Amino acid sequence: MERGALCQLTVGLELDEITSEKEIISREQGDSKASGASDVILYKIDVPANRYDLLCLEGLVRGLQVFKNKLEAPRYTRVSPIDGEVQRLIITKETIAVRPHAVAAVLRNITFTKERYDSFIELQEKLHQNICRKRSLVAIGTHDLDTISGPFTYTAKPPGDISFKPLNQTKEYTATQLMSLYKTDSHLRHYLHIIEDKPVYPIIYDSNGVVLSMPPIINGDHSKISLTTKNVFIECTAMDVTKAKIVLDVMVTMFSQYCSRPFTVEEAEVVYPDGKTCIYPELAYRKEKLSGEFINRKVGISEPTEKIAQLLTRMCLLSQPTGAGDEIEVEIPPTRPDVIHACDIMEDAAVAYGFNNITRTTPRTYTVANQFPINKLTELLRQDLAAAGFTEALNFALCSQEDIADKLSKKISDTRAVHISNPKTAEFQVARTTLLPGLLKTVAANRKMPLPLKLFEISDVVLKDESKDVGARNSRRFCAVYYNKSPGFEVIHGLLDRTMQLLEVKPAREQGYHIQAADDSTFFPGRCAEIFVYGKSVGRLGVLHPDVIGRFELSMPCSALEMDIEPFLGHTAEALLTHDVPMRETIKHISSRQDKSYVEGFVASQADAAVFDAIRSTPPQTLQHLLRWYNHIKSFQMDRARLPATKTQFVLLNACPSSDHASDEDIDLFGSEDEAESAETARIKEQRLAEYAAKKSKKPALIAKSSILLDVKPWDDETDMSKLEECVRSVRMDGLLWGQSKLLPVGYGIKKLQIACVVEDDKVGTDMLEEAITAFEEHVQSVDVAAFNKI
């Protein structure tokens, strides 16, 4: 393929760089090291992360040829062995404790060359780093089938009972010895943590007791493949069977073209501990139907159904019109696990059409963006809660199962939690179902700060909901905690009353809010109440149980409040927290016409001028949309007579009283009739203000400070944490004071450094700290702000 043609391809690929081996070495190591290196042109191409079929040269070339209509997409077929004897992989129950799943297949009569062999090994490594998540989810093993005999047994044994000669070694080692041997290996040491703390290690034997592999660490030397290998047995052991199926399908589809019968894969049988049998690889094709109108509308084009089907076929998605209107039937091959939804098919059509070929169009309508009511209400509540003396905290949306269940004295099955299928660490296993653990962690991280600690958070939790198409929904919650030497239940109760006052919900059993005693294992018996609003339960408050407090490493009483704020969206959020009656009525009127920019449409009119006159003062900054409208209408004051007349009579309810009747605010009950006395009073007032200003100017300016808790994470479990802490504390800045620190487990034997510091806000920022700490690249992987509080 010519260089210019490659640069112009529009198949979702991006040409990153055109270089050579000599140029790379010269750039990285100098010209002296580059002498003798190859001048052959190398193309560096960026491949989408979910296109596993493009990770090797075979798949990339095949995809480009299909796209350029030089080749039809091949049909992959699973076949039975010619001799009728299917290779079997038997899984024992011992593997449940370490790596419970496995799949297998055979590439029969394959022909390797040096280039094909290198590509085969390289694809394994790329899959290990990508979908396999560095072998933690899936590990691939490839073996010369002619050197071993089935059936094969996948089991797990204590490390002292495992002994074999690993790949490229000259003698046998026990599994324990291998773990010590590979701790210094630059490649394999990164995978040891996956099983080193397990009581048993996974191992695969053949019928003669020969070790094939000890996944996910190393294969056996006996069954290693070479250029002369003709039959390849591929096994994938996994924590996630779906990922294992995808990896196996990618491996066999990419290299089955080199078999004597191209694009055919010999099946293998996997027997599970319960006796269940499965045949792999699945090589499943599935069909989806969607309309051409859907693709045209979403992409912004206008193409006939036949043309869209041709575009999708060029993307290896065999498509054809069904004849029922503009319906298109699309077949998804086993090489495209990235195609999950109709939008993925639409995206492929856009890629094949060419994004640069899509005509730019101007939107047919102009609209003014509106903030979501729930976010509007959240912002308004935040300001008033802060004014009540509480400090806002922001915590991670993911947490551990222990945080939302065990630590709160609840069962994980009762939490309706959404579980993360492949959590990176033990700290991020589920989506939080309550805000309380995050706030208690923040209190624990700041427990050495002056008491009382008063924190709040308004954010989303995630709950399972079968009625939703994704099986879950977000719910906006408000949570507050009070931590002091005494429980302070009256403080939390007062905060609830203040919140209800802001939301204009009166204390009443039927037409307002009330609390009643409730039992909850998270709270102290007899010190818990349920919150009801208009007869519906919205949350709970009370004094936390001592066991719960202790599990979060706290030693003093704590009261908490958590409630759902979504039920309060029955009115416009801005109107609820606005006590200016004309302004509130204006908001209600405008919010009822969300598709309009002005009171009566898309053009300012006399109706806008009338509303403007009814509002007594400039709206506050919190009502940003109303303020923007107010300032805009204010700019018409010189030419307001030219504004179009109103289409209908617009009347504000409860408008301002007329000027003929003075309000009570205009009556000065303490006014003096003696003008001389008023002048003397004014003079004394000015004198006292001047004395106060002079006295205040002599006081030192208050220095704004903040307390920051940082999480400093190392690269791996071999990082010297003492040296890492020494590097962190070596950071010196004016206005920075380091505090206490401790090591916390992250997972797989890795620990992170949690260290506190106090900074002067005008001199030190979090960005400066992160930049200074991450400069120690040999020790520090990342820096996160765990807690941030004003002092």
Under the banding of pLDDT at 50, 70 and 90, the label for residue 572 is: very low
Under the banding of pLDDT at 50, 70 and 90, the label for residue 595 is: low
Residue 654: pLDDT over 80: no
Peptide bond into 507 cis (omega under 30): no
Peptide bond into 216 cis (omega under 30): yes
Regarding beta strands 87-91 and 152-157, do their DSSP bridges make them parallel or antiparallel, or are they unpaired? parallel
| Domains in the chain: ranges and CATH | 1-46 (3.30.56.10), 77-280 (3.50.40.10), 286-355 (3.30.56.10), 373-574 (3.30.930.10), 578-633 (no CATH), 705-790 (3.30.70.60)
Residue 578: pLDDT over 70: no
What mean pLDDT do residues 633-651 have? 70
Q: What are the CA-CA distances from residue 728 to residues 706, 740, 741, 750, 768 (Å)? A: 18, 12, 11, 18, 13
Nearest to 625 by CA among 651, 597, 646: 597
pLDDT tens, residue by residue, 616-638: 777 776 666 777 788 878 877 77
pLDDT at residue number 648: 57
What mean pLDDT do residues 727-747 have? 89
- Given CA atoms 512, 516, 519, 522 in this order, what sign does their dihedral have? positive
Nearest to 78 by CA among 267, 228, 248, 220: 267
> Please, are residues 334 and 386 in contact by the beta-carbon 8 Å criterion?
no
Under the banding of pLDDT at 50, 70 and 90, the label for residue 349 is: very high
Residues pairing with 205 in the sheet: 153, 211
Under the banding of pLDDT at 50, 70 and 90, the label for residue 12 is: low
What mean pLDDT do residues 639-643 have? 75
pLDDT tens, residue by residue, 130-169: 899 999 999 999 999 999 998 999 999 999 999 999 998 9
Cα(260)–Cα(323) distance, rounded to whole angstroms? 39
**Mean pLDDT, the chain, integer:** 84
Q: Minimum mean pLDDT among 57-61, 529-533, 681-685: which range?
A: 681-685
Under the banding of pLDDT at 50, 70 and 90, the label for residue 36 is: confident
Residue 365: pLDDT over 70: no
What mean pLDDT do residues 482-494 have? 92
- Residue 495 C-beta-side C-alpha neighbours within 13 Å: 30
How many Cβ atoms are within 10 Å of 340's Cβ, its own excluded?
11
Q: Minimum mean pLDDT among 687-691, 726-730, 768-772: which range?
A: 687-691
554 vs 609, higher pLDDT: 554
pLDDT at residue number 706: 85
Residue found under tokens 């200074």: 772
pTM of this structure:
0.54
Segments in 713-776 forming alpha helices (H): 721-729, 766-773
40 vs 349, higher pLDDT: 349
Query: And the tokens for 110?
Result: 């394959």
What mean pLDDT do residues 259-282 have? 94
Under the banding of pLDDT at 50, 70 and 90, the label for residue 784 is: confident
Under the banding of pLDDT at 50, 70 and 90, the label for residue 40 is: confident
Residue 175: pLDDT over 80: yes
Query: And the tokens for 395?
Result: 């915590």
pLDDT at residue number 223: 93
569 vs 276, higher pLDDT: 276
Q: Minimum mean pLDDT among 120-129, 229-238, 412-421, 727-736: which range?
A: 412-421
Regarding beta strands 780-790 and 705-714, do their DSSP bridges make them parallel or antiparallel, or are they unpaired? antiparallel
Name, of 199-208, 591-600, 692-701, the range with top average pLDDT.
199-208
Cα(95)–Cα(274) distance, rounded to whole angstroms? 13
Residue found under tokens 């924590």: 239
Q: Minimum mean pLDDT among 19-28, 322-331, 448-457: which range?
A: 19-28
**Percent of the chain scoring above 70 in pLDDT:** 87
Mind giving me the DSSP string for 321-335?
Answer: E-SSTTEEEEEEPTT
368 vs 139, higher pLDDT: 139
Residue 679: pLDDT over 90: no
Residue 424: pLDDT over 70: yes
What mean pLDDT do residues 345-358 have? 90
> Residue 24 carries which side chain, given as an amino acid letter?
I
734 vs 422, higher pLDDT: 734
Nearest to 159 by CA among 173, 172, 176, 171: 176
620 vs 740, higher pLDDT: 740
Q: Minimum mean pLDDT among 258-272, 551-565, 690-704: which range?
A: 690-704
Cα(29)–Cα(283) distance, rounded to whole angstroms? 45
pLDDT at residue number 701: 59
